[in-house]
Amino acid sequence: MKMQLTEVAGAVGAKNEISDEPVDISSVSFDSRQLTTGSLFVPIVAENDGHDYIQSAIDNGATATLWDVNHQETMPMKIPVILVDDTLKAYQDLAKYYLNKINPKVVAVTGSNGKTTTKDMITEILSQQYNVCKTEANFNNHLGVPMTLLSIEPNTEIVVVEMGMDHPGELDFLSRIAQPDVAVITMIGEAHIEFFGTRDKIADAKMEIVNGLKEDGLLVYNADEPLLRERVATIKQRSFGFGHGESSDLSVSNVVGNQVMTSFKVREMPDVNFTIPMIGTYNVDNAMAAISVGRHYRVSPDNIVKALSDFDLTKNRTEWLKGHLGEAILSDVYNSNPTAAKAVIKAFSNSDVEGNRIVVLGDMLELGDQSSDMHLSLADSFDNQKIQSVYLYGDQIDSLATSLKSKYDDKHIHYYRLDQKEAMTQDLLEARTKNDAILIKGSHGVHLETVLSDLQSH
């Protein structure tokens, strides 16, 4: 980034005059710890008031700062200040202004599951032929999306933006900031159903991504989902469906997997063999979304194959690791919902293993009044001939524990409350062998990454 402070002031509708002396801005951040020389500091008023960290921002190199008009009594004197009515809105306005200034193509990705993996796949495919910027990690909310847009380099041709939501209206807002040329919906699941009540309402909220989609834009969506097919039929923009059905615009076939990779073909590209370094048909679906975007931007089949075969996956998504004894660990500890859990349990059940398959599941959060039933719905995913032992952890997963007692004896079904993580970890350490395979999955809020760390270090 390279902008003059006067340009920033104009973009955010500043309330004060900026000095005629030129001030160069090279980056923008709301985290005072992440600033460098040339940074514009944006103090956000939230649980912690960013205005209280202005000295830290100055110490770390802030060249100027936005400042809320209601905090003028603590306004710093050491650096230029841009007064605004609302620093968060100004930050978002600046991101939209800068996006329009650089004017890259925008690909926006959302979905109840798989959006980060799909974002990574799309980025890898497009990077074969374009200069591409993407959302780092999963910074996909009202703060993270502007951060992505403000990090765009002047030579960026395409920016891939992940968009999350847990309440109605959020995707509408993010989509109107990013104004995508292509919008992608990976799937509709039960994530955040506590705030929506039904999958129909989740589908309505996901479709908000179309609200900012350009008139000549394209919506790429999972055509296997009836809730999406119904809603896509009503939009004005073009649409392109991927899936397993023959009626899809891009349809998958010949899916074959093992413990570390999955290969597949696409009926519309019969001479091309695709491979991804991941397991599960749900990851094939993510790849199909990415292939759809790649084809839209005329990336060659050879480059798509190359990109998918060895792309850089964001940490803590489904990945095989080694434990301290040499046991195989399938780690998926970032998040969980019923659709995702069922898919990964199915894939894990068919993985190669010399010893036993062990599943460690934590609570799935934000399921509201349906939590007990949705945890219970996982019971059909367990086959005691394929999964020999189950460790369940949390205060909401007890319904599943009770149900699985009909499939497992007391030696092979284990249930632990939230205050019993240490006991569960110790039991796992004592029970596992070097020949076993262990799946660990749960919502981020139950922090099963600590169990993973112990299995790797002890």
- What is the Cα–Cα distance from 145 to 135, expressed in whole angstroms? 7
Closest CA to 183 of 163, 205, 155, 157: 163
Q: Is 114 annotated as a binding residue?
A: yes
Identify the DSSP state of 418. G
Contacts of 60 (CB under 8 A, 6+ apart): 32, 33, 34, 35, 36, 39
- Asked if 221 contacts 185 with a C-beta cutoff of 8 angstroms, the reply is yes
Q: Is 117 annotated as a binding residue?
A: yes
Rg (CA), the chain: 24
Contact 332, 325 (CB under 8 A): no
Q: What's the rounded Cα separation, in Å, for the pair 441 and 426?
A: 18
Helix (H) or strand (E) holding 161: strand 158-162
Order across the sheet with 39-41: list the strands: 27-29, 39-41, 62-68, 81-84
Is 112 annotated among the ligand-binding residues?
A: yes
**How many CA atoms are closer than 13 Å to the CA of 226, on its beta-carbon side?**
2
Q: Is 335 annotated as a binding residue?
A: no
Which of left, alpha, beta for 90 (phi over 0: left; psi -120 to 50: alpha)?
alpha
Q: Is residue 116 a known part of a binding site?
A: yes
Which single residue is written with the structure tokens 């169990």? 451
For 67, the 3-state DSSP assignment is: strand
- Is 110 known as a binding-site position? no
Q: Which two tokens stand for residue 95?
A: 């991101």
User: Which of 424, 364, 414 is CA-nearest to residue 387?
Assistant: 414
Cα separation, 418 vs 363, in Å, equals 9
- Rounded to whole angstroms, what are the CA distances from 294 to 109, 125, 206, 304, 404? 14, 6, 22, 7, 43
Task: Report the largest interatomic distance among the alpha carbons of the chain, rounded to a whole angstrom.
Answer: 78
As annotated, the binding site for ATP includes: 111-117
As annotated, the binding site includes: 111-117
